[in-house]
Amino acid sequence: MNDSKQLRPYHFKKGQSGNPKGRPVFPDIKDALHKVMMEEKEGMTALDAILKRLRQMATSGNIKAIQEILDRVYGKSQQKIDHTSQGEKIEGVNIIVHGSDTAEELTAFQKELSQNDNENNPGVQPDIEESQE
């Protein structure tokens, strides 16, 4: 037990941080990347050289290069997914949730939707789960 007395002077004092300088500050990656991409070599920036090479690859038939250019210029195409259940489409309701809605308000709204659905479809039982927040 003598060792604990020897370690005592090295313990942190109450109210004193174990890391007084705090977390080290790293440079902003966007700024660093922008600086590197804008460096000129042989009269051309790195960004221009990359885009020129990507264009060469695309025009020579490289599908990945073509896809990258089209995705960057026109955006990626949307993929629609068909959800089905035993061959029948599942009908759904889109609910827009606002940040100000509370869990109680959303649960009440969900119950109201279920009641309306039960009135329209009396054989269907509602499947409501209470949120655990």
Residues 6+ apart with CB under 8 A from 65: 54, 55, 57, 58
| 3-class DSSP assignment, residue 45 | strand
Predicted local confidence at residue 23, as pLDDT: 84
Most confident of 6-10, 26-30, 32-36, 55-59: 55-59
pLDDT at residue 133 in the model: 47
Query: In terms of DSSP bridges, do strands 88-89 and 84-85 run parallel, antiparallel, or are they unpaired?
Result: antiparallel
pLDDT in tens, 51-83: 999 999 999 999 999 999 999 998 888 777 766
The helix, strand and coil proportions of the chain, stated in percent and rounded to the nearest 5, come to 45, 5, 45
- pLDDT exceeds cutoff 60 at 34: yes
Q: What type of residue is 122? A: P
Residue 10: predicted pLDDT: 63
Q: Which amino acid is at 9?
A: P
CB-count exposure of residue 110 (10 Å: 0-12, 13-18, 19+): middle
Residue with tokens 């990359």, as numbered in its chain: 50
In the chain, the amino acid numbered 46 is A
Tell me: the pLDDT tens digits for 94-128? 666 666 567 777 778 778 877 766 665 555 554 55
More confident residue, 38 or 126: 38
DSSP label of 50: H
pLDDT for 50 beyond 80? yes
- For residue 2, the Cα-to-chain-centroid distance in whole angstroms is 53
